[in-house]
Amino acid sequence: MAQLFHLGLPFSVESHKISASSSKSLKLVPTISASNISFSTTRKGSANRLPKTQKLNLEVSPHRAVSAVRLMRIELGGAFADLLNEKGKGSGENEMAYVERTLGFRTRELNDQDLRLVTDIVGGTIRWRRYLDHLISSISHDKDISSMEPLLLQKVAKIGFYEIVKLDMPHYAVVDENVRLAKVALRPGAGNMVNGILRKLAVLKENESLPLPKVEGDDRAQARALATLHSHPVWMVRRWTKYLGQEEAIKLMMWNNNEPSFSLRANHARGFSRADLVAQLNELKVPHKLSSHLDEFVRIKTGLQIIIQAGLLRKGLCSVQDESAGLIVSVVDPQPGEIIIDCCAAPGGKTLYIASRLSGQGKVFAVDVNRGRLRILKETAKLHQVDDVVTTIHSDLRTLPDSKPLKCNKVLLDAPCSGLGVLSKRADLRWNRRLEDMEELKKLQDELLDAASKLVNPGGVLVYSTCSIDPEENDERVAAFLERHPDFHIDSVDRYVPVDFVTDRGFYFSNPVKHSLDGSFAARLIRDS
């Protein structure tokens, strides 16, 4: 489904239930040291209330404290903040408030360097979770690191391991500062444990003798070893080895573990061209590269925080959108004056791009079952000045054809999928997907395709797309659909996207390793007249 980054609007996350026992592990009693400075604050408009006493710790690294707490929120509450705004807020609340409630003290506010480190450490620690768990278990001789209590101790240890192994930070500084965090937030004994395992890790790293598995034995054993070395679930490794071969599967995992790059789409609907965007990036000194595939897009590797702070997203002048998603819109080929239905539209990245290409003439009906995400889409459409051509419809697509007599010549079904093509950006997704999900998703995709087909006029176009690289969600779903619906046929996408993205069957497919983009798929299907 479309992924839209918009500053100031909440991200949609699935909440996970927290058991009473899990909640209790968050009630930590901090050690009060000389570095914990108490001071009082009175919130504006609360003159009659007692002042709130806070403890400001100037010795603990702010980015480590924030990273540890955020990692706990991700694991316990399902939160994942892809972007931080200029005040260091995540998921709509001040990071320091989370830190204080969890650790019992505040650190100084995050500066730009802290923000970058939090993003790097949180994303990297999640991405390398299996690899880090293996190292911690091996070095601490604890085969079940979940027994480390409280949960915070796991996060502090993982942060230290990630910094030493993957960031190549000075070992003495990593040990010293993470030990300090463990002692202040938990107890002296926790600091001693962190000290012991981090020092041992540092020695092993310096001697190039990390305890890592060897890729040997039968297919299952090799898959387990590769899953640890490249930090992916075993079922994904086995699946990709089956479809791609081991060498390509390794390349794909290496891509997923690299720091993600992003693309920006200039919003023509607001009269903001790519040239205008380039001028802004030059002024902000953000390195960039023009997309060779789409006229509105610019690639960036670093500097996203700078762009956010400059307000370019908040003003609706541009949006963060991968070129792979933009190329799916190219397959739809929206033209001024057309009426287009975007099924499963929210949060609306493709909807907004389609709307901008209508040049104020035509209509996009954005259908989605999630009312909250539709509300975000509607607000963002207004911000991007395309709300005059976007109409939102809250409905389950599978019942929409019966409840609303809506038909048109172009329908986009950007189907819910595994997201296996966007794992470089969604560091958490690899751990939230199960093999069992694939069968459920395929059933849902079939049902949605059948429903979407009812919205297409004779001679009209149905575009089926995913952000997956899995053939069972892509080619096989189209083949199954065509068997059920012989009145549809494939229309090759070679007129709409560069030939390098066109498969033998005439589908659009972006390969992360080959194209350095998110993985995505689209089939253009025509209904017989």
Give the residue numbers annotated as catalytic, written as ranges: 467
Find out whether 325 and 422 touch, Cβ atoms under 8 Å.
Answer: no
Cα 218 to chain centroid, rounded = 34
Owner of token pair 């802004």: 280
E-strand spans in 240-306? 262-266, 289-290, 297-300
E-strand spans in 159-290? 262-266, 289-290
Ramachandran class of 91: left when φ > 0, alpha when ψ lies in -120 to 50, beta otherwise: left
Residues 474, 477, 478, 479: what is their CA dihedral angle, to the nearest 10 degrees? 120
Contacts of 3 (CB under 8 A, 6+ apart): 321, 322, 325, 347, 349, 422, 425, 467
**Cα angle at 500 between 496 and 504, to 5 degrees?**
85
- The separation between the first and the last C-alpha atoms of the chain, rounded to the nearest angstrom, is 29
Output the known binding site for S-adenosyl-L-methionine: 344-350, 368, 396, 414
Length of the chain counted residue by residue: 529
Tokens of 5: 């980054």
The residue type found at 329 is V
Find out whether 339 and 362 touch, Cβ atoms under 8 Å.
Answer: yes
Q: Is the dihedral of CA 324, 330, 308, 9 positive or negative?
A: negative
Output the known binding site: 344-350, 368, 396, 414
CA pair distance 358, 410, nearest whole angstrom:
13
CA pair distance 423, 419, nearest whole angstrom:
7
DSSP 8-state assignment for residue 261: P
Tokens of 297: 């897009």
CA pair distance 90, 71, nearest whole angstrom:
12
State the CB neighbour count (10 A cutoff) for residue 25: 16
Cα 495 to chain centroid, rounded = 31
Question: What are residue 396's DSSP bridge partners?
Answer: none
Whole-angstrom CA distances from 194 to 109, 134, 197, 312 are 25, 16, 6, 42
Q: Which 3 state secondary structure label does DSSP give 526?
A: strand
